[in-house]
Amino acid sequence: MKLKQFLHIGIFLFVTLGLHFGFMAMDKPGSIAALVFIPFIYACVHLIKSLVYLFKKQKRSSLNSLIIGLLFALLVTKFFYYYYSLPLSILFLIFSIWVTMLTWKKNSDNNSKKHKVTLLVLLVLNIGLISIPDITIGHYLNPRVLKWQSLTWNDFKKAPNDTSDHDAETYERISYKINRAYNYPPAIVFAEMDPQNSWVKIKEKIKSSDIDLLLEHEQGHFDLTEFYTRKINDSISTDWGKSEKEIETTIQYWIKEKDSMQKIYDNFTNHGLNAINQHLWTVYVQKALHSNEVPDTKGLKHLVSTYQEDIFANKPTEEIASVDTASWKTLSKYNFTIRYPANWELSTNVDSGSAFILISPRDSISSSRVAIGLKINDSVQDTNIDSYANSMKAEINAYNTKAQLIEKRRVRFGTNSFYYMLFSLEKNGNKYNVELWFLVTGKKSYILKSLTYTESFDRYRKTIESIMGSFTLSQ
């Protein structure tokens, strides 16, 4: 077999792979185009040559050129995927092998000798590619994004958004291609993370104790994307033969579910600041992803609802430690009663929408004061605790966009049972703690709020709890 018989296919391999790896090494666009357009050009040339041979009545050469052209085209469809069909590809490769064997046995002219080598190399290439999963090729053809894996801070390459309240952001997405040639599976779907659009603020500015938890939280966003990617793949596995529109509808349904769950994840973990909830979420999702079972989205929602119910309803409520209130005054107004220390100032003529405001004397150590107020909502539409938690957080964020929820629980004092939330915030160089205690009865909600300097919070805490605990509603 002479060397010049390899020249035709050799040039193809050299140009295609040279351009592909060359563009990839320079990190320039064009590496994928080389794998698609050069085989496409070769396919067109050989299909035209097949017609030319046919008009010249060279049937053997015409058939060989036709098969070669189609084998080049098969490379394109494998990379492009949209019109690739595995069953048809296998049938065509079997036919091509038969044609190649016939060509090899015949005493051929110079054209047929070149065709022998070209057919053999193309068969090897196509058989090799056919054994590679479509999703693996899909990942390879998009080197600028990461497939699902463990993240490091080096994967966050975009300049940070200094106007954001958050310390990091992961740009994750679900990408997919829907096949139009009745391939199985009918689509390839994969989770991606785009480093060029993901950012983290200067890590040295983040507390060392929080940096690992923050990375765990960002990994959780990527894990959740992979979680729903597998759910999509399971859902479309039964969609073979359905229209492209039907498959698209299935995929988009789960993508919207994923986007919704990403928001729930942020709320449930308080953007990673709630270490307990973050750990619960991470353990559940990681366990699901490392098992051979299809991810259970209902189980994920159940985790959120069950744990919140455990916090707010099922667990025994925490008793508030009582203090000596014998000398305290009593305020009776509307349909409520509340008691407060005699040396605290009371104001019932306020324009802030509060029923009253209590202000403590100045602290002897820091000269700071505590303010307590009550807001009554007469038309509650949704008494769900999660809705209230979100609305309360929104109210605090309206006062300070960097407020952080650091605690929430249910507490009991006597016959009263409160939903309790504790926020920390910083404004004008001062650090504050904001407590919310709220009761919901019928269509009314009663929201008691305290504002305390962080440095004096521990000294006032029991007094604040006793004031809140004295709040009662008339029958």
Residues 442, 28: Cα–Cα separation, whole Å: 64
For residue 6, the SS3 value is helix
Report how far apart, in Å, the C-alpha atoms of 470 and of each of 323, 346, 360, 408, 447 are.
11, 16, 16, 20, 14
Q: Which CATH superfamily is domain 329-473 in?
A: Mog1/PsbP, alpha/beta/alpha sandwich (3.40.1000.10)
Report how far apart, in Å, the C-alpha atoms of 362 and of each of 350, 358, 397, 455 are.
21, 13, 27, 13
Q: Please say whether the beta carbons of 320 and 465 come within 8 A.
A: yes
Residue 116 is encoded by which pair of tokens? 């022998």
Residue whose token pair is 């894996």: 149
For residue 401, the SS3 value is coil
Burial 249-266 (b: 16+ CB within 10 A, else e): ebbeebbeebeebbebbe
For residue 319, the SS3 value is strand
Q: Please say whether the beta carbons of 403 and 396 come within 8 A.
A: yes
Residue whose token pair is 């193309």: 122
Residues 75, 70: Cα–Cα separation, whole Å: 9
186: left (phi over 0), alpha (psi -120 to 50) or beta: alpha
Residue 16 is encoded by which pair of tokens? 């295609």
Check the CA dihedral 121-23-35-48 and report its sign. Answer: negative
Domain parsing of the chain, residue ranges: 3-132, 142-314, 329-473
122: how many CB neighbours lie within 10 A of its CB?
25
Q: Please say whether the beta carbons of 416 and 447 come within 8 A.
A: no
143 CB-side CA count, 13 A: 13
Give the pLDDT of the chain (475 residues) as one tens digit per residue: 455 667 888 889 999 999 988 888 887 778 888 888 999 999 999 999 999 999 988 888 888 899 999 999 999 999 888 888 888 999 999 999 988 887 776 655 556 667 888 888 999 999 999 899 888 888 888 888 999 999 999 999 999 888 887 889 999 999 999 988 878 788 999 999 999 999 998 765 555 556 888 899 999 999 999 999 999 998 888 877 788 888 999 999 999 999 989 988 988 888 887 777 788 888 889 888 988 777 777 777 777 765 554 443 434 444 455 578 889 999 998 788 999 999 999 987 765 567 888 999 987 777 788 999 998 887 665 555 556 666 776 777 776 667 777 777 777 765 667 778 888 888 777 888 888 888 877 677 888 999 898 888 888 888 998 898 888 887 6
Residues 6+ apart with CB under 8 A from 363: 369, 453, 456, 459, 460
Paired sense of beta strands 404-413 and 318-319, if any: parallel
Residue whose token pair is 């709320």: 267
